[in-house]
Amino acid sequence: MGKNIKRFYTISQSNLNIIARSEHNVSRKDISKSAIKVLYTLKDAGYEGYLVGGCVRDLLLGLKPKDFDVATNATPEQVKALFRNSRIIGRRFQIVHVRFGREIIEVTTFRGPHDDENLHVSDEGMLLRDNAYGTLEQDAWRRDFTINALYYTVKDFSIVDYTNGMADLKSKTIRMIGEPSIRFKEDPVRMLRAIRFAAKLNFKIQHDDEVSIKKALDENIHLLDAVSSARLFDEVLKLFMSGYAEAVYELLIKEDIYRRLLPFDHNTQTDFYIAFVKQGLANTDTRIQQEKPITPAFLFAVMLWPAVELLTKKLLTQQHTLYDSINIAGQEIIEQVNVRITIPKRFRYMMRDIWTLQVRLPGRVGRKAYKSLEQKRFRAGYDFLLLRSQVSDLLNMQNTNDVNQSSQVELNELCQWWTQFQIEPEENRKQMIKALPNNKPKRKKKKTNKVK
Ligand code: ATP
Ligand code: MG
């Protein structure tokens, strides 16, 4: 018997807790109709079927679930046979996507402990494949945190709890199922998940008794380096694009994990830059609340800006022009990050446009302002400029590394100018350009250049 199996059986000698409908607040009216349909279809066909994971957790906490996941004892093929609009996906473990219009219900077959035949682990203990089916109880013990292992059934509308998840929900605790260090080694992404749930729910990361998640985080955080860069991109989006990015960022800084995700010089973590990233993320959270669109490009442009700005400044001292410096710096920093987190090309282009606009927007004489305005990414670049000035204002302090070497007042004025320029009619726009202090007739300017 493999080591892992023994572990699962010892910890799974749990006391099964069944919480009757009268003792919990999960109501059918809060559950997606499609998910209910899946549960009844499975039941009518003689299978077990449960809502599980984030949806049960969030419903119990009175939050609106992002999506609904179902666990069943039916195999993927059996599930597929029950639903017309379904397909089997995934390689590492097969799951079935059942589609109802735009909604997808993910149906997963109970997973069990690995036996020697299908246990595939790397030298570091990372699970490479685990596709053994199991029972409901085994499935519960395979999940990451106790609050994510609660099951809701339409058989009697009760909640099934093998891991003491209800108690942890009540005490607002993120507790690992099993030994944190082993579970992090199996899948290092669980470390980011711990942070994500703690931030989202405002729960504390368990750290009081002998098995401390916090301690295990410290010891295993380097394993994040082994996670594929494509998966890290997905996880980073989940961390920062779910509406609680500011809280996530604060936790990542506090637990000293942020440095692991974006490994840059410590100068990128000055008070000013931390405030800058925090404000950018807070703005993203607000946009999500207001149901405005957000793009990963802006998010990454914000998170990488400290590194880009610092490198730009360094390049400037090496005889490059400002425009070239920011371009080279942008390219370089993106390349460094890309090794760990694959940012798709379309976002990379947009990030560079946002950054170069930061050195373009101050230049407004002649046709320059019009040219910037016509740029596809003008709006994002302008929003970014606003963010830069907003942060200086908030802190009432100047960024000593500002690429344009502009004072806080200048930055504010520049923002105001652009805000106005966008809404003014043509005639007034011309006046605005004319009124710029550094607006000299073109010929004169050329002459001065020649003299130089
Ligand atoms: P969210 O609200 O972000 O959707 P969630 O808990 O539903 O949170 P999912 O990524 O949708 O998170 O995963 C669904 C469930 O699958 C989790 O609640 C957990 O039980 C299980 N799970 C997901 N990822 C892992 C993992 N890496 N290791 C163990 N269990 C996992
Ligand atoms: Mg989910």
- Regarding whether 343 and 273 lie in a shared domain, the answer is yes
User: How many whole angstroms separate alpha carbon 101 and alpha carbon 226?
Assistant: 37
3-state secondary structure of 407: coil
Instruction: Indicate whether residue 106 lines ligand 1 (CB < 6 A).
Output: no
Residues 202 and 281 in one domain: no
* Number of domains, the chain: 3
Cβ(383) to ligand 1 under 6 A? no
For residues 267 and 256, state if they share a domain.
no
Query: Does some domain include residue 452?
Result: no
Ligand nearest to the CA of 234: 1
* Last residue within a domain, chosen from 261, 281, 303: 261
Ligand with smallest separation from the Cα of 65? 1
Q: Count of CB atoms within 10 A of residue 360's CB?
A: 20
**Maximal C-alpha separation, the chain:** 89
Q: In this structure, what token pair is assigned to residue 412?
A: 């504010």
CA of 54 to the centre of ligand 1 (A): 6
CATH of the domain at 129: 3.30.460.10
pLDDT per residue of the chain (452 residues) written in tens, 0 to 9: 334 433 444 444 568 999 999 999 999 999 999 999 999 999 999 999 999 999 999 999 999 999 999 999 999 999 999 999 999 998 778 999 999 999 999 999 999 886 555 556 666 666 655 568 999 999 999 999 999 999 999 999 999 999 999 999 999 999 999 999 999 999 999 999 999 999 999 999 988 766 788 889 889 999 999 999 999 999 999 999 999 999 999 999 998 899 888 888 888 888 889 999 999 999 999 999 999 999 999 999 999 999 999 999 999 999 889 999 999 999 999 999 999 999 999 999 999 999 999 999 999 998 999 999 999 999 999 999 999 999 887 777 777 788 887 788 889 999 999 999 999 999 999 999 999 886 654 444 444 444 43
In three-state secondary structure terms, 63 is coil
**What is the helix (H) or strand (E) element at residue 237, kind and residue range?**
helix 229-240
Q: Are 301 and 415 contained in the same domain?
A: yes
- The reply to whether 157 and 224 lie within a common domain is no
Global pTM exceeds 0.85:
yes
Asked whether residue 378 falls in the same domain as residue 232, the answer is no
pLDDT at residue 2, as a whole number: 38
CA 138 to chain centre: 29
Judge if the beta carbon of residue 92 lies within 6 A of ligand 1: no
Q: Which residues are catalytic?
A: 67, 69, 144
Domain-located, residue 414: yes
Any atom of ligand 1 within 6 Å of the Cβ of 148: yes
User: Residue 359: inside a domain, yes or no?
Assistant: yes
CATH of the domain at 316: 1.10.3090.10
- Strands 204-205 and 173-174, by their bridges, are parallel
DSSP code, position 268:
G
Residues with CB under 5 A from ligand 2 (ion): 54, 67
Q: Indicate which residue's Cα is closest to atom 1 of ligand 1.
A: 54
Q: 182: burial class by Cβ within 10 Å (0-12, 13-18, 19+)?
A: middle
Ligand in nearest proximity to the CA of 189:
1
Asked if residue 246 and residue 266 are part of one domain, the reply reads no
Is the CB–ligand 1 distance for residue 69 below 6 Å? yes
- Residue 204's domain comprises 178-261
The candidate with the shortest Cα–Cα distance to 296, out of 343, 229, 365, is 343
Tell me: do 216 and 331 sit in the same domain. Answer: no
Which residue is listed with tokens 């969030």?
58
R_g of the chain, CA atoms, integer Å: 27
- Do 256 and 328 reside in the same domain of the chain? no
In this structure, which residue's CA is closest to atom 9 in ligand 1? 54
**Pair 422, 393: CB distance under 8 Å:** no
Separation of alpha carbons 317 and 266, rounded Å? 20
Q: What is the pLDDT of residue 265?
A: 83
Instruction: Return the pLDDT at 72.
Output: 98
* Half-sphere CA count of 428, side-chain side, radius 13 A: 8
Judgement on whether residues 350 and 204 belong to the same structural domain of the protein: no
Closest ligand 1 atom to Cα of 143: 30
On whether both 145 and 78 belong to a single domain, the answer is yes
